[in-house]
Amino acid sequence: MLNFSKINVFIIYSLLTFIAIFAFLNFQNEDEQYIKKKINLGLDLQGGSYLLLEINSDSLVKEKIQSKVIPIKKLLRDNGINFSNFKINDNNLSFSLDNIEKFDLLFNSRKDNLVNPYIDNYRSFELEYKKINSGQIEISFSKFGLLTINNSALKQSIEIVRRRIDDVGTKEPTILQRGEKRILVELPGLKDPERIKSLLGKTAQLNFRLVSDNKEFGTDELISENGEKLNISKRIIMSGENLIDAQPSIQNQNNEPTVSFTLDRLGAQKFGRATTDNVGKRLAIVLDGEIVSAPNINEPITSGNGMISGNFTFQEATDLALLLRSGALPTPLIVVEERTVGPDLGEDSIKSGVTSLIVGFILVILFMLYKYKLFGLIANTALIANLLMLIGVLTILEATLTLPGIAGIILTVGMAVDANVLIFERIKEELKTEKSIIHAFDSGYSRAKITVLDANITTLIAAIILFAFGSGPVKGFAITLGIGIITTLFTAYFLARHLTSLVVLKTKNKEINI
C-alpha cells in the first residue's frame, strides 16, 4: 500500500495540477483568461428573477375538441347512425342520435378511430361520452385525454421558453417542470425581468389573413396598429409555422425598424399564390389576435421573403423577431409567482458562506495539527488539494453554485477529515502490535479502506438520489457533495498516502508518533 511507482506518482500529481489550474481560473478576470471557464453563481448568490409559470390549456382543449368534429361525423355516417342538433361547445361536442345503443357499441369497440386508426389501443381512452337525456349525448376528453394534452403542451412550452430565454442571452437559466401544468424559471443576474415577462407572456400565434368583407369564411373585427377598425377574414392564408427565420432590420428610406422573415418552401408557395391572386388588396399580419400591420399587396411576393412593419422601436422589432424565431406557445402562460433577489442579498449570502467555510477550514486544520502533528500536516495538505480539485471539477463542468452548494463544500471538508481520521486511528492500533513501522502503516491503510469506502459510498448513494429526485438548490447540494466525495477518496488514498509513504520510508528506523 505504501509503494508507488514513478508512473503512479506522475499520474497523481499531473491530475492534481491539471484540475487545480481550472480552480484558479475563478480568481482571474475573464479578459485575462485563455480558457473561458468559470463557476457560475446561482440566483441566491448573485441575485436575479424567479418566475413560476402555468399553462392555460382551455383554448387548446377547445381547439382539439373541434378537430374531432369531422372524424365523429364521418364515423356516424359510415355506420348509418342519424344525428341532429350538432353543437360545438368550448370543451365538448353535443348532438342527438336516433340509436344510442348502436353508438355505444360502436364507440366502445372503435373509439380509437376517433383519434387515429393506426395508433395503439392504450390511446383509445382519449374521449368519453355521457347521456344528457334519452336521445342526446355529449362527447368530451377523458381524464387521460386531458392529461395527454397538458403533458404535450407543457413539454412544448418548456422547449419554447428555453429558446426565447437563450435568445435573450441570459446565462445559466434554470427551466424545470413543476407538477402537471407549471414551469419554474430562474434567471441569475437578470437586470430586466419585465422584458422576459413580456416575452414569455406572448403566445406568438402569427397568421396572415386578408382584409375582406367576404362573409363566406366569416370575418373578425380587429383594430390595426393605427387604430383603424378592419374586417379580417377568418380564413388563414399562412401561419407562423411556415417561418424559417426572422431578424430585425432597418429600412433605408426612413430608418424605420422592421422585421424581415424567411418562409419555408410550403410557406413560400402559399404566400406567393395568395399575393398573386389578391394584388391590390390588404393583407393583415395578426399576432395573438392583434393586427401588427396591414399593408397593401402591390405585387406578387414569390421569393419566400417578406417584411413586417408597424411603427416599432428597434427593441420591439428585436423582440418580435425573437418570438417568431422561437415559435408559438401552444397555450398562454400565466405568471403564478414572481420573486426578485437583489444582488446585495446575494453578496451577503456569499460572504456568510465563505466565512463559514474559512472558519470551519481553519478549525479543522488546527485540530488535525494538534492531534496528529506531522501527519496532521499531511492531512491538511490533502484537504487543501481536495478543495482545489472540487472547485476545479465544478469549473470544468461550468456548474452553477448556490448557497446549498456551498453547504456541500463545507460538508466535504468534514468528510475529507473523517477519512484521514479513520486511517490514522487504524494505524495507531496497528503500531501497538506491529514491530515494523512500514508494515503497521501499510496494514492501517489496507484495513481502514473498507470502512472509509463504506462511509463515503453510502453518502454518495444519498447524493445520487438527491440529484435524481431533487431540483434546483437540492441538485446543487447533491452535485458538490458527490464530487467532493470522489475528490476526498482520491486525495486520501493517493495524495495523502504518497506523502505518508515518503515520511515513513525516510524515518523507518526511528520511532514515529501519530
The per-residue pLDDT for range 241-264, each reduced to its tens digit, is: 888 888 888 876 677 888 888 988
Instruction: Write out pLDDT tens, residues 213-239.
Output: 766 567 888 887 677 788 888 888 888
Mean pLDDT taken over the chain = 83
CATH 3.30.70 domain range(s) in the chain: 59-146
List the grid coordinates of 111: 373509439
Which pLDDT belongs to residue 117?
43
Residue 412 contacts residue 480 (beta carbons within 8 Å): yes
pLDDT tens digits, 431-457: 888 777 888 888 888 888 888 888 889
Judge contact between 35 and 25, C-beta under 8 A: yes
Q: In what order do the strands lie in the sheet with 182-188?
A: 174-178, 182-188, 48-55, 333-341
CATH 3.30.1360.200-classified regions of the chain: 206-310
Q: Is the pLDDT of residue 468 over 90?
A: no
Backbone angles phi, psi at 513, to 5 degrees: -100, 130
What interhelical angle do 403-433 and 473-490 show, nearest 10? 30
CATH fold of 59-146: Alpha-Beta Plaits (3.30.70)
Q: What is the pLDDT of residue 345?
A: 62
Assigned C-alpha cell, 495: 495524495
| Structural fold of domain 6-45+343-506 | Multidrug efflux transporter AcrB transmembrane fold (1.20.1640)
Q: pTM to 2 decimals?
A: 0.66
pLDDT band at 148 (very low <50, low <70, confident <90, very high): confident
**Distance between CA atoms of residues 480 and 492, nearest Å:** 18
Architecture of domain 206-310: 2-Layer Sandwich (3.30)
Q: What is the pLDDT of residue 316?
A: 84
pLDDT at 72: 86
Predicted local distance difference test score (pLDDT) of residue 31:
61
Cα dihedral 243, 249, 254, 255 in deg (nearest 10): 150
Taking CA atoms, 308 is separated from 28, 250, 303, 422, in Å, by: 45, 11, 15, 71
* DSSP 8-state symbol, 296: B
For 389, residues 6+ apart whose C-beta sits below 8 A from its C-beta are 16, 19, 20, 23, 487, 490, 491
The CATH 1.20.1640.10 domain(s) of the chain lie at 6-45+343-506
pLDDT of 113 higher than 60: no
CA distances from 215 to 53, 129, 155, 414 (A): 39, 34, 38, 77
Whether the predicted pLDDT of 486 surpasses 90: yes
